[in-house]
Amino acid sequence: MNIKNLITVLVVVLLPASLISIQASSLVVSDNSAVNDLLKPMAIKSIYQNNFADFDANHWLLEGPGNYRTSDSHSSLYVESLVWREMAAAWEKNDRKPLSPTLYYATAGKVIKEKHPEQLSKILNKDGNVEGGHLVLWNKQVVLPESYLISYNFEPKTPIGLGILFFSAEGIAEQDIFSAELNKRTGVFSQYTKADINSYHISYWANNAAVGKRASCNLRKNPGFYNLASGADPSVAKLDYSQQEMVLEKHRIELIKIKNRIVFFVNGIKVIDYVDQGINDTLDAQGQPTGKTIDTGLYHKGGRFGFRQMLTLAAEYSDLKIFSLEEK
């Protein structure tokens, strides 16, 4: 064996599988032909893969009252709010109808105070009112480049809740989001959308116990919580609250960011395809253009990514893959 081959073998043996970069012109990154067609002009490089067989909790950072661990099958990442069971019971007791905001947060606050008093400070807003109970789980291993693909399976374990993918997240002065220079975050939404973090986020599985089934995905830009684009959400298409036993399916999430273009797929269906020009149309509550524009600033480049869950949600994530993209 020559020295070049020996070095290659040593690298493969010594490095964790999730950190080994693979580059090939014929690399197939998706079972979705629309995704592969979109990426044909790009040079693709695998920068992170995780099937959660060798789970390390230190590779993640949880903000907000919740838990995360490897699943019982050791093939996925299980994430749950501390109050989802009690929230689900309250929703069922209300005949699966939306809970009033008062009842929604009163239920969450009561559970936290009685069962998890050490978490109480995490669910209060700056005025001392209950606003939290939600959580964000950041990945600590990957710093995303300017252009990339993130794909993973999302499997809800509860029929109510809301999933969000934060991406291209960094401090407004380009700090790492884990920098001590940034404000403390405890899962309260405004700490992520109207504070000192630049990011995009896309929502899916929008079954808020206080609102009902929204059936749309929203792309927003932060800080500012600007709604850039909306599209019909395939992940909730088959969810029927009238069924005694609701079928909760696994969904494939695929996000492509090529500089200022953001394309989002759910189950192979393109939901959003948007170019962030900085001067963006404003949308109404139904996601329709108002005819007015707003300056949301330069598009966000790279940064961190994380999963957000509302307090009614428990879910599993699996087959997580991230690829860097460069124009050939």
Residue 27 falls within a domain, yes or no? Answer: no
Residue 102 falls within a domain, yes or no? Answer: yes
Half-sphere exposure of 84 (CA within 13 A, CB side): 23
pLDDT tens digits for 263-282? 999 999 999 999 999 998 88
Residue 247 falls within a domain, yes or no? Answer: yes
Alpha-carbon distances, residue 327 vs 49, 259, 268, 293, 311 (angstroms): 22, 10, 23, 30, 40
CA-CA distance, 200 to 305, in Å (whole number)?
9
More confident residue, 7 or 92: 92
Residue 3 falls within a domain, yes or no? Answer: no
Residue 297 falls within a domain, yes or no? Answer: yes
Find the helix or strand (DSSP H, E) in which 4 lies.
Answer: helix 3-14
Residue 228 falls within a domain, yes or no? Answer: yes
- In this predicted structure, the answer to whether residue 179 has a pLDDT above a threshold of 90 is yes
pLDDT for 166 equals: 98
pLDDT for 27 equals: 66
Q: Coil, strand, or helix at residue 147?
A: coil
Q: Is 133 in contact with 187 (CB distance < 8 Å)? A: yes
CA-CA distance, 328 to 25, in Å (whole number)?
10
- In this predicted structure, the answer to whether residue 101 has a pLDDT above a threshold of 50 is yes
Domain that holds residue 204: 48-327
Residue 28 falls within a domain, yes or no? Answer: no
Inter-helix orientation angle 84-93/101-115, to 10°: 140
Enumerate residues 6+ apart whose C-beta is below 8 A from 9. 1
pLDDT band at 127 (very low <50, low <70, confident <90, very high): confident
Residue 291 maps to which CATH number? 2.60.120.200
Residues forming beta bridges with residue 213, ordered by sequence position: 207
- In this predicted structure, the answer to whether residue 66 has a pLDDT above a threshold of 70 is yes
Q: Is 186 in contact with 132 (CB distance < 8 Å)? A: yes
Number of domains in the chain: 1
pLDDT tens digits for 4-61? 444 444 433 444 444 444 444 456 789 999 999 999 999 999 999 999 998 999 999 9
pLDDT for 200 equals: 98
Residue 271 falls within a domain, yes or no? Answer: yes
The predicted model scores a pTM of 0.90
